Chains A and B, each alone.
Chain A
C-alpha cells in the first residue's frame, strides 16, 4: 500500500485509475445484464401483473369448479400449482380444457378462449408456482430441425403410442394417443414438456429442447410429404388394411364365383 500511495502522483496514475474504473464498471454492467438475461430466460413470457389478475378472474369463473379456488385441486380435478404456463397453453389452447364432460380422456375441441385469455390463464397458473413455460420460438422453427434425427427419436420415444406414422393409437379403457397431424408445433412441444393426461413427461433433461425441435421437424415433414405408396387407409397398419382387403376381397371372390358358374347367355 505504501508503494501504491507513493506512486499516486505519477503522471500515468490518472490514466491507470481511469482504466481500472472503466474495467470495473464495464465488468459489473456485463455481469448485471447477464444476470438479468438469465432471469429473463427463466420467465420468457414476462407476464404483467394485470395478466395474472385477469387470468385469476377467468380461472375463478371457468376452472375453479373442478380445480378449486386458488387452483389447489379438488376431487374433480388436480391441483395446478406448479403445472406451469405450458400446460395451460396446451390444455386450453387445444380446447381440451375446460372439459366438455368427464370421461376416460379430455378430447380436443375448438378452443373456448382466445389467445389473449389463454395467455392470461397461463400467466395466473404460472404465478402459482414454478413450472414449464411456453416454448420459445427458437425451438419451434422446424426449418432448423434435423429430420432424420427427429425420426429416430420419435420412433424410440413416441411411436409406440402415437403410431410410426403419427396416426395415433388406442390405449386401455377408452383412452387413446391422438393423431399428430395438424397439431401446432407449440402444442406438440408443450405436450412433451408437460405430459398431458396419461402421456408421460419428456422434460428437457430427457429430450433436450433441440431434440424436441428435431421431433417436431420430423412430424411436420411427415405431414407435408404425403404417402408414397398409394392409399394410406389412415396409416393404421394391418387393422384398416386387413378390413379393406377382407371385405373387398370377399366381394370380389363371391362376384367371380357367381360369374364363373353362371351360364353364358
Chain B
C-alpha cells in the first residue's frame, strides 16, 4: 500500500451533510429535510395524551396477563365439558396475545411520540496514514507477547493439537453417510409378513374370507402375527412397515401380468403396502371406478389395476405388492413377504 488512495479529506471532494452546495459531483447532496417538531414536542397536552396512550397499552398487557391466569386457574374444566374448555382456550390465547401485543405496541408508541426524534449525523472518520497501521501491528504484537505463546511452547503445542483434533468428530459423523457399510437399514428390507400369515382387519383382528369380499370392497389389513408382539414400541414399528390395503375388483379389470406376479392376486383381490413410496404417508384413498389410489400428502396417484403403477405425482416407484392366496379354510393369507422394501426410496435399495 502506498500513498495512493489515502487522499487528504480537505483536498478531495468530500460531501458534507446539509451543505447542499455544488461540489463538482453529478448529483448535489440535498442534505436533510428541515426538522419538524411533533405535536408532543410542542404541546404539553399532546405529550400527556401520548403518555396516557402508552400507559393504556401497558395496562392492556397487564389485563392480558391477568386474563391468562384467570383462564388457567379460575376456569375449572371437568371432563367432557367442552363449553368451559372452549372458554379456557379463548382466555389463554387472548390473554397471552394481549400481554405481548400491549407491551410491544406501547414501546413502539412511546418511541414514536415521546422519545426525542432529532436527526443525528455520524460522520465517517477520515482515513489516516501509515502510523495507524503501525499502531495496529504494535497492538497485535503486544497481544502475542501478552499471551506468552512464544515463551511457553507447551501452551502453543497443546492448542495446535486440540485444534487439529476438534474437527475429527465431524469426520466420524460424515462417515455414517458411507453407503458401503450397513448401518441398520437392513431392518427396512423385511416386514413380519411371511408365507401363510393370515391377513386380518385393522383394528378388529378378524381374518378375511375371500368369499366375503364383494367387488369394490377395500379392507385395511395387518398381519395376524402382529398381535403376538407384546412390546408396544416394537409392535408399532412392525405395524408401520406391514400395513396393507386389500382391494377387490373385477378380475377382468386387472391388467394381465406374466411370470411370478401372475399368482400374486386371488380372483381379483389384490393387496399392496399402504406406505407411500414417496415419503411414506399412508396411501388409502381408493376410487373404486377408476381403480386409482391417491396419497393424501403429495397427490401421488397409483393405479391398482396395473400393479400400483405411479400415474401421477412425485412417487418414484410403484407401491410394493403383497403376494396373496387363500388357505384351506378360505381365508386370505400371504404367499411371502413383500419382494422389495416398503416405504420411501432409499439408496441402499440397490
Contact = CB atoms under 8 A, between A and B. Distances in A.
B113 A175 contact: no
B38 A263 contact: yes
A202 B285 contact: no
A175 B296 CA distance: 14
Q: Interface range on chain B: under 10, 10 to 19, 20 to 34, or 35 or more?
A: 35 or more
Contacts of B108: 259-260
Interface stretch (A15-23, A24-32, A64-72, A226-234): A226-234
Contact of B218 (A169, A172, A200, A227): A200
A250 interface: no
Interface in B282-302: 282, 284-290, 292, 294, 296, 299, 301
A171 interface: yes
Contacts of A227: 86
A201 interface: yes
B294 A203 contact: no
Interface in A157-195: 157, 160-161, 169, 171-173, 175, 177, 195
A172 B212 contact: no
Interface in B137-178: none
B292 A230 contact: no
Nearest to A229: B89
B217 A265 contact: no
A173 B292 CA distance: 11
Contacts of A230: 86, 89-90, 93
A152 to B, nearest CB: 6
A243 interface: no
A259 B53 CA distance: 15
B288 A226 contact: no
Output the residue of A157, A228, A262, A264 with the most chain B CB within 10 A: A264
Contacts of A225: 82
Interface stretch (B201-209, B223-231, B252-260, B319-327): B201-209
| A interface residue count range (under 10 / 10 to 19 / 20 to 34 / 35 or more) | 35 or more
Nearest to A261: B112
A160 B287 CA distance: 12
Contacts of A171: 285, 287, 292, 294
Contacts of A198: 287-290
B31 interface: no
B286 A172 contact: no
Nearest to A205: B212
A201 B39 contact: no
B216 A228 contact: no
A206 interface: yes
Contact of A206 (B203, B219, B282): B219
Contact of A205 (B93, B113, B209, B290): B209
Contacts of A199: 288
B66 interface: no
A153 interface: yes
Given A171-B287, A172-B290, A228 B85 contact: yes
A206 B217 contact: yes
Contacts of B285: 160-161, 169, 171, 177
Contacts of B290: 172-173, 198
Contacts of B299: 172
B108 to A, nearest CB: 6
A256 B86 CA distance: 30
Nearest to A149: B203
A1 to B, nearest CB: 46
Contacts of A263: 36, 38, 112, 117
B40 A264 contact: yes
Contact of B202 (A156, A169, A229, A259): A156
B312 interface: yes
B96 interface: no
Contacts of B63: none
Given A160-B296, A260-B108, A203 B212 contact: yes
Given A156-B203, A226-B82, A265-B39, A203 B217 contact: yes
B304 to A, nearest CB: 11
B103 to A, nearest CB: 14
B70 interface: no
Interface in B197-247: 201-204, 208-209, 212-220, 247
Interface in A216-261: 225-230, 259-260
A241 B91 CA distance: 20
B203 A152 contact: yes
Given A171-B287, A226-B82, A227-B86, 8 more contacts: A160-B296, A169-B285, A171-B294, A177-B285, A201-B218, A202-B217, A228-B86, A264-B40
Interface of A: 152-153, 156-157, 160-161, 169, 171-173, 175, 177, 195, 197-203, 205-206, 211, 225-230, 259-260, 262-265
22 contacts: A156-B203, A160-B296, A161-B284, A161-B285, A171-B287, A172-B294, A172-B301, A177-B285, A200-B216, A200-B218, A200-B288, A201-B215, A201-B216, A211-B204, A230-B86, A260-B108, A260-B112, A263-B38, A263-B117, A264-B38, A264-B112, A264-B117
Q: State the 7 A-B residue pairs at the shortest beta-carbon distance, nearest first.
A: A205-B212, A200-B218, A198-B287, A160-B284, A201-B216, A264-B112, A264-B113
